[in-house]
Amino acid sequence: MADDPFVKPRGRVRWIVCGLLFAAVVLSYVDRLVLPTLKPFLQERYGWSETGYADLAIWFSGAYGIAYVLFGRLVDRFGARIGYTLAVSLWTVGHMAHALFTTTAGMALARVPLAIGEAGAFPAALAATNEWFPRRERALAIGIFNAGSNVGAIATPLIVPIIAVTWGWRMAFILTGLLTVIWLAAWLGFYRPAAHHPRLTDEERAWIESEPAELLRPAPFRKVLRLRQTWAYITGRFLIDPVWWTFLFWLPDFFNRQFHMKMLEFGPPLVAVYLMADVGSIGGGWLSSRLLARGRTANRARKTAMFACALFALPIAFATHAPGLWSAVLLIGLACACHQGFSANVYALPGDLFPRGQAGSVIGLGGLAGAIGGMLMAKFAGAILQGVGSYQPIFIVAACAYLLALLAIHLLVPRYDPVRPDDLA
């Protein structure tokens, strides 16, 4: 049965691994979003400026991007288990340290270790996915664990204001940080590489290992960087990551500014936005996986899914002119869904086109590119909001990003050709 590429085996250990990855992404986004959720309250209480708050995003993006490259290489060398353990430990320390500060300069000190740790999350998760899932399931698995970002974004505005009002804003950082300690214990207790996992059946192992053996030794960056496939991933991440980070970092402020909402009122609209994003995350991965199962090439399947997402993201340009709160929520939620569906297929690119030993390095470079784009977008957003006071230019940029990213990817890898081990020799 395992020899038939379209008959799934008995055994679900790989989906338990996917569940652990999903939970980690949930927790990483909860920890990342506590500060944006508290932003209107902290800004009023401690007198933060818009540009000062934007600087927090810039510091986060810079540390995140640099650490992404380092973690990509680390994961290639030591594997997902060690990589994720180190990442979670670092981000938990940084997250809980936010409780020590009241200024944006102080918050930046805590934001850096948070960023460094969270930078390791996606290289480790993608490395684990590449190891545990064959290509025909990989985008779906990525879409599922990537949906954790939306669950985290849903949970944060529901629980953080209650914690802050009941026990004070500092406890919002401390209590949410403790959840990652619990996850880390589960990760260390369960996760092993697929080749050595004691609960894996022979049938499921054969399914996972049905793809040809690949090069495991990392190549120098100079060899990786000369490949068009690398630049397709780098360019895609540079263009789309800043849009998602803008949604995460500024949406509570948008609702406060546009509709005069308070901290305890953020929950329903943010829940609606990120529920839609969840659907998009799983749907985008499902669509390309479904097309692959029907015999479409990886090139056709991935780009078809990305094109559909890019088209449906365009209405975000009109969000500031929405006649009411829920009209704006619908437009923003649709854009978030399209982002997640698009990114599930972009994130699959390193696993599709590179030997497993190189995927972490490519993922790291893409993360750095996304972080640089995020820094530029944060600076742009801060200047626009400080000077113009409107989100309209920001949403226009967001509307155009996905079609531009798909165009760049298609021009760089028109046939979606995999990298051969000889190309990196």
Best CA proximity match to 250, nearest among 23, 28, 60, 21: 60
The reported pLDDT for the residue numbered 154 is 82
Is 13-424 a CATH 1.20.1250.20 domain?
yes
- Long-range contacts: 244-247, Cβ < 8 Å, 24+? 244/336, 244/339, 244/343, 245/57, 245/61, 245/370, 245/374, 245/377, 245/378, 246/374, 246/377, 246/378, 246/381, 246/394, 246/398, 247/273, 247/332, 247/335, 247/336, 247/339, 247/398
- If one counts every other C-beta atom within 10 angstroms of the C-beta of residue 189, the result is 7
Q: What is the pLDDT of residue 2?
A: 42
Distance CA 145, CA 26 (A): 9
By CB atoms closer than 10 A (0-12, 13-18, 19+), residue 6 is exposed
Two structure tokens written together for 66: 């640099």
* Prediction pTM value: 0.75
Looking at residue 228, what is its pLDDT? 95
* pLDDT of 3: 47
Tally of CB atoms within 10 A around 406: 23
Instruction: Categorise residue 389: left if φ over 0, alpha if ψ from -120 to 50, beta otherwise.
Output: left
Q: What is the pLDDT of residue 5?
A: 47
Task: Quick: pLDDT tens for 112-150.
Answer: 999 999 988 878 888 888 888 887 787 788 878 877 877
- Exposure string over 265-276, b if 16+ CB within 10 A, otherwise e: bbbebbbbbbbb
The per-residue pLDDT for range 88-109, each reduced to its tens digit, is 999 999 999 999 998 988 999 9
- What pLDDT, in 10s, does the model give residues 351-407? 889 886 677 678 778 888 998 998 899 889 888 988 888 899 999 999 999 999 999
pLDDT at 214: 54
What are the two backbone dihedrals, phi and then psi, of residue 201, each rounded to the nearest 5 degrees? -75, 160
- Beta-carbon count within 10 A of 388 CB: 11
pLDDT of residue 1: 40
For residue 258, the 8-state DSSP code is H
Extract the residue ranges of the chain whose pLDDT is less than 50.
1-6, 215
Percent of the chain with pLDDT over 90: 44
In angstroms, the CA 421 to CA 425 distance is 7
Backbone angles phi, psi at 209, to 5 degrees: -95, 15
- For residue 369, the model assigns a pLDDT of 92
User: CA–CA separation, 111 vs 59, rounded Å?
Assistant: 7
Which amino acid would we find at residue 237?
Answer: R
Structure tokens at 60: 């986060």
Q: 135 burial class (0-12, 13-18, 19+ CB within 10 angstroms)?
A: middle
Task: Say what the pLDDT of residue 7 is.
Answer: 56
